[in-house]
């Protein structure tokens, strides 16, 4: 990011420094002369940008090369001759006169007592002072160019009709005003705004006491150097910044290209401290009304939740200007008598990490609850945000310039018709409550793309200390991003898919969202390297609990029964309710993750599909799965279906009841876990099968029923196993169960699961090759 400096003409003019003297009626400043501020920080004189023939009167940092000009007097009208004087007249006006004593530039008339002088202060401010009254008659700080210094300010004063803004140079060697401007808006609270002509170009987001709410990270690491003072009643506001310690010099400038930059100097070099706009999402309203610009994703634009592109055709061509429109009319719009409460009332969908939209209104509600109530109660309120340092903001017009960051930012609550958050599929109709619990309002409109360097940083370059485990498709790492809610899976084997196919597939998978599925946030692709970014689960996987002598005590029977039902719900969603109809193919205890409330979430779903194509029985006969969990028809013939997942679920169920690992377990004369379950069911209706460490927190009927369901699920013939809907009914009701037959198939394996294979190759009908990882 280059910083532009202005090079002054060095050779032809020999400067004579008049030190810190003044300009007075008898002593003008001529070309070739300069005036220093008393402390020697700034200098006033004539300069020529980039060795042009044009001369301007300006102020720059003294003894800093290349020269940085911070103020120009005659921006529009250069001196083209070799002689000119900056003079002060007895009437108090500062004038730039040419040889013929014609006025090139003037500060204009000031009422004065006949005696005055101009001096350059150590703040970089050029002031005209009345010698009698001592009053400041004029100052350069009230007539800013493209630069703001620590003691100057951008400000407005509505009653006086004043709006002090920054305007950039037209080009590198033309200081006349360019097309942009930087100003502060009279909104409450105000925000910094760069305009291009009269159109908004970039905005800082509303000021929140110590920071600009729309600039992520700028407040996080240090005390903000900015000060904004607004007096709503008087109609005034000003924005200034203070010098940071350890830095001798600094300035804020608006460049020719319309970028606001902040630069610090430690006495040697300039450091670019801040620049905006800096990313495509920074450009005002780039995704149109009700669009959302996502910083980490390509394409950058999405519609806000509950909105659809106004024109699909334009949207496909990546012309986002017309934005999005609401998909489902709000219930309060349909019937605005008082449909703001009750069953069909509109709801609010909360988005995090956003730069809140423009056109906000300050509402004087005291707390977040009132803010919500206030917005809910007024149909014209389409969104609200309760922002620390501001309070309650509401939106009554279209939502423009909403940006989503990866971290930081604010939460914005969006008013939607309640049907927008209920997906168009049915859940098991157990009760209204259960139905509510199964749904998690989430944004399903797309997938996030992450930058590789972001992931590398967040995982400490995939360091082993960040490794959480090794899954079937590659190692999993913890990511230290934002609030630590993400995990990264690094896909180890190439899926053989092209990037586009991969993205399509991942996008589909990311749309599978259910309370009992691990959420896929996004992916990252760099060359051959492919990463998936998942929601992070604090309590890791079920096997970490179940097979640990201490942790297993946390899972009493009611908890285990909840977990079993949760897994079945997730499975039903995958098999039946989602638009994709996914067969998991590698359901096992280590693929069940637990959130902080120990709610089970199935992970790695959809990956088998991606790695193996989507045919019901694929030709390659490569089987993804884990020994012990694989149904006979899948292990031997590579045939998979809903029923092969049911088999795996049965094994999982038996493991959860017994607290025993299928791969480790032997009983008596080498009986497998399934054979042992059969024996216990025949002899004690399954009671002996229950984990001995459970104490007596269980209900014998429930346990017996679960053992029986487990046995029905691992029946040899797929037709004898329940389908997923039947399975969930068996688990959630007291309906009659069929009697299981004695299991006649079990893959005998004594290998530890973690070293066992995830991929085996099956040729024809005999299992011949087993490949380790």
Q: Which residue's entry shows tokens 């001096």?
A: 119
SS3 content of the chain, % helix, strand, coil (to 5): 20, 30, 50
- Give the per-residue contact string, 366-385, with ligand NAG (x = CB under 6 A; - = no): ------------x-x-----
Strand, helix or coil for residue 134: coil
Q: Which of residues 388-407 bind ligand NAG (CB under 6 A)?
A: 396
The CA-atom distances, in angstroms, between 569 and each of 27, 116, 444 are 90, 85, 20
96 versus 193: smaller Cβ distance to ligand NAG: 96
Give the whole-angstrom CA distance, residue 706 versus residue 686.
Answer: 9
- The DSSP 8-state label assigned to residue 221 in this structure reads S
Written as one string, the DSSP assignment of 541-591 is BHHHHHTSTTGGGG--HHHHHHHHHHHHHHHHIIIIISSS----S---GGG
163 versus 173: smaller Cβ distance to ligand NAG: 173
| Smallest distance from ligand NAG to CB 620, Å | 31
The contacts of residue 397 (CB under 8 Å, 6+ apart) are 359, 382
- Asked if 528 touches ligand NAG (CB under 6 A), the answer is no
Contact segment (CB under 6 A) with ligand NAG among 91-99, 253-261, 648-656, 746-754 equals 91-99
The CA-atom distances, in angstroms, between 770 and each of 266, 307, 571 are 64, 50, 28
- Asked if 112 touches ligand NAG (CB under 6 A), the answer is no
- Asked if 13 touches ligand NAG (CB under 6 A), the answer is no
- The DSSP 8-state label assigned to residue 14 in this structure reads P
109 versus 693: smaller Cβ distance to ligand NAG: 109
Contact segment (CB under 6 A) with ligand NAG among 153-161, 315-323, 407-415, 602-610 equals 315-323
Give the whole-angstrom CA distance, residue 430 versus residue 226.
Answer: 56
172 versus 636: smaller Cβ distance to ligand NAG: 172
Written as one string, the DSSP assignment of 627-663 is TTTS-HHHHHH----HHHHHHHHHHHHHHHHHT--TT
Residue from 21, 468, 580, 757 that binds ligand NAG (CB under 6 A)?
21
- Asked if 97 touches ligand NAG (CB under 6 A), the answer is yes
| Smallest distance from ligand NAG to CB 547, Å | 13
The CA-atom distances, in angstroms, between 401 and each of 6, 138, 326, 357, 386 are 34, 39, 16, 5, 18
The contacts of residue 135 (CB under 8 Å, 6+ apart) are 129
- Asked if 27 touches ligand NAG (CB under 6 A), the answer is yes
- Asked if 551 touches ligand NAG (CB under 6 A), the answer is yes
Q: Which of residues 163-182 bind ligand NAG (CB under 6 A)?
A: 172-173
Q: Which residue's entry shows tokens 């969930």?
A: 728
Query: Which position among 586, 604, 691, 758 bears the catalytic label?
Result: 586
| Smallest distance from ligand NAG to CB 482, Å | 17
Question: Any idea what the Cα angle at residue 402 is, between residues 400 and 404, rounded to 5°?
Answer: 165
- Asked if 313 touches ligand NAG (CB under 6 A), the answer is no
Contact segment (CB under 6 A) with ligand NAG among 60-68, 86-94, 490-498, 756-764 equals 86-94
- Asked if 538 touches ligand NAG (CB under 6 A), the answer is yes
Q: Does 586 qualify as catalytic in the annotation?
A: yes
- Asked if 596 touches ligand NAG (CB under 6 A), the answer is yes
- Asked if 123 touches ligand NAG (CB under 6 A), the answer is no
Written as one string, the DSSP assignment of 47-108 is E-GGG-S-BEEEEEETT-SS--EEEESSSSS-B-SS-EEEEE-TTS-EEEEETT--EEEE--
- Asked if 26 touches ligand NAG (CB under 6 A), the answer is yes
- Asked if 429 touches ligand NAG (CB under 6 A), the answer is yes
Question: Any idea what the Cα angle at residue 270 is, between residues 264 and 276, rounded to 5°?
Answer: 65
Q: How many CB atoms lie within 10 A of CB 344?
A: 14
Give the whole-angstrom CA distance, residue 567 versus residue 564.
Answer: 5
- Give the per-residue contact string, 49-68, with ligand NAG (x = CB under 6 A; - = no): -x------------------
- Asked if 554 touches ligand NAG (CB under 6 A), the answer is yes
- Asked if 337 touches ligand NAG (CB under 6 A), the answer is no
- Asked if 497 touches ligand NAG (CB under 6 A), the answer is no
* Active site amino acids: 586
The binding site for ligand NAG (CB under 6 A) comprises 21-22, 24, 26-28, 30, 50, 83-85, 89, 91, 93, 95, 97, 99, 103, 109, 172-173, 268-269, 314, 319, 321-322, 378, 380, 396, 429, 432, 461, 538-539, 551, 554, 596
């Amino acid at each position: 990011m280059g910083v532009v400096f202005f090079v002054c003409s060095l050779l032809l003019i020999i400067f004579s420094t008049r030190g810190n003297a003044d300009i007075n009626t008898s002593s003008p400043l001529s070309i070739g002369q300069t005036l220093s501020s008393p402390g020697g920080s700034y200098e006033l004189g004539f300069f020529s940008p980039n060795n042009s023939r044009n001369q301007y009167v300006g102020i720059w940092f003294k003894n800093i090369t290349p020269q940085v000009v911070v103020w120009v007097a005659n921006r529009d009208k250069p001196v083209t001759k070799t002689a000119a004087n900056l003079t002060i007249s007895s009437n108090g006006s500062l004038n730039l006169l040419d040889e013929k004593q014609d006025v090139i530039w003037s500060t204009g008339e000031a009422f004065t007592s006949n005696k005055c002088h101009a001096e350059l202060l150590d703040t970089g401010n050029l002031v005209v002072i009345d010698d009698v009254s001592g009053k400041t008659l004029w100052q350069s700080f009230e007539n800013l160019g493209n630069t703001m210094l620590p003691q100057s300010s951008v400000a407005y004063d509505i009653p006086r009709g004043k709006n002090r803004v920054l305007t950039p140079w037209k080009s590198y060697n033309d200081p006349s005003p360019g097309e942009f401007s930087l100003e502060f808006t009279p909104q409450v609270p105000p925000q910094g705004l760069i305009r291009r002509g009269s159109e908004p170009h970039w905005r800082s987001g509303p000021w929140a006491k110590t920071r600009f709410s729309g600039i992520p990270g700028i407040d996080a690491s240090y005390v903000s150097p900015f000060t904004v003072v607004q007096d709503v009643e008087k109609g005034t506001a000003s924005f200034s910044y203070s010098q940071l310690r350890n830095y001798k010099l600094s300035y804020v400038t608006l460049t020719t290209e319309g970028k606001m930059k902040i630069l610090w100097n430690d006495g040697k070099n300039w450091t670019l401290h801040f620049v905006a706009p800096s990313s495509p999402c920074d450009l005002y309203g780039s995704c149109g009304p009700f669009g959302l610009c996502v910083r980490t994703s390509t394409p950058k634009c999405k519609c806000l939740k509950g909105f659809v592109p106004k024109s699909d055709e334009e949207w496909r061509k990546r012309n986002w200007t017309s934005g999005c429109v609401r998909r489902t009319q709000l219930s309060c719009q349909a019937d605005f008598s008082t449909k703001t409460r009750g069953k069909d009332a509109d709801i609010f969908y909360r988005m995090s990490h956003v730069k809140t939209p423009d056109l906000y209104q300050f509402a004087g509600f005291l707390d977040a609850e009132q803010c919500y109530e206030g917005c809910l109660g007024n149909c014209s309120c389409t969104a609200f945000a309760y922002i620390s340092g501001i309070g309650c903001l509401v939106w009554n017009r279209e939502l423009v310039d909403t940006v989503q960051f990866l971290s930081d930012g604010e939460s914005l609550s969006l008013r939607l018709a309640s049907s927008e958050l209920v997906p168009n599929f049915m859940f098991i109709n157990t009760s209204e409550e259960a139905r509510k619990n199964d749904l998690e309002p989430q944004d399903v409109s797309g997938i996030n793309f992450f930058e590789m360097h972001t992931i590398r940083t967040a995982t400490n370059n995939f360091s082993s200390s960040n490794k959480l485990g090794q899954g079937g498709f590659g190692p999993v790492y913890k990511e230290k991003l934002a609030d630590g809610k993400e995990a990264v899976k690094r896909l180890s084997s190439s899926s053989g898919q092209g990037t586009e196919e991969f993205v399509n597939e991942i996008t589909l998978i990311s749309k599978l969202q259910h309370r009992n599925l691990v959420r896929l946030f996004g992916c990252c692709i760099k060359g051959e390297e492919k990463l998936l970014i998942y929601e992070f689960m604090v309590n890791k996987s079920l096997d970490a609990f179940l097979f640990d002598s201490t942790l297993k005590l946390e899972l009493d029977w009611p908890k285990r029964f909840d977990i079993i039902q949760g897994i079945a719900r997730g499975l039903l969603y995958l098999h039946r309710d989602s638009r994709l109809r996914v067969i998991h193919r590698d359901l096992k205890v280590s693929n069940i993750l637990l959130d902080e409330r120990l709610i089970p979430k199935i992970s790695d779903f959809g990956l088998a599909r991606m790695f193996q194509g989507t045919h019901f029985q694929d030709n390659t006969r490569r089987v993804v799965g884990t020994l012990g969990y694989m149904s006979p028809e899948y292990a031997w013939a590579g045939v998979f279906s809903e029923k092969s997942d049911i088999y795996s679920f049965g094994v999982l169920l038996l493991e959860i009841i017994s607290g025993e690992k299928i791969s480790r377990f032997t009983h008596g004369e080498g009986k497998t876990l399934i054979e042992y379950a059969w024996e216990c069911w025949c002899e004690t209706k399954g009671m002996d099968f229950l984990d001995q460490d459970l104490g007596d927190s269980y209900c014998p009927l429930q346990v017996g029923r679960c053992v029986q369901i487990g046995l029905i699920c691992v029946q040899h013939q797929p037709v004898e196993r329940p389908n997923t809907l039947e399975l969930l009914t068996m688990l959630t009701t007291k309906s009659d169960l069929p009697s299981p037959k004695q299991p006649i198939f079990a893959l005998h394996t004594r290998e530890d699961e973690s070293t066992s294979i995830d991929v085996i190759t099956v040729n024809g009908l005999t299992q011949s090759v087993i490949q380790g990882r």
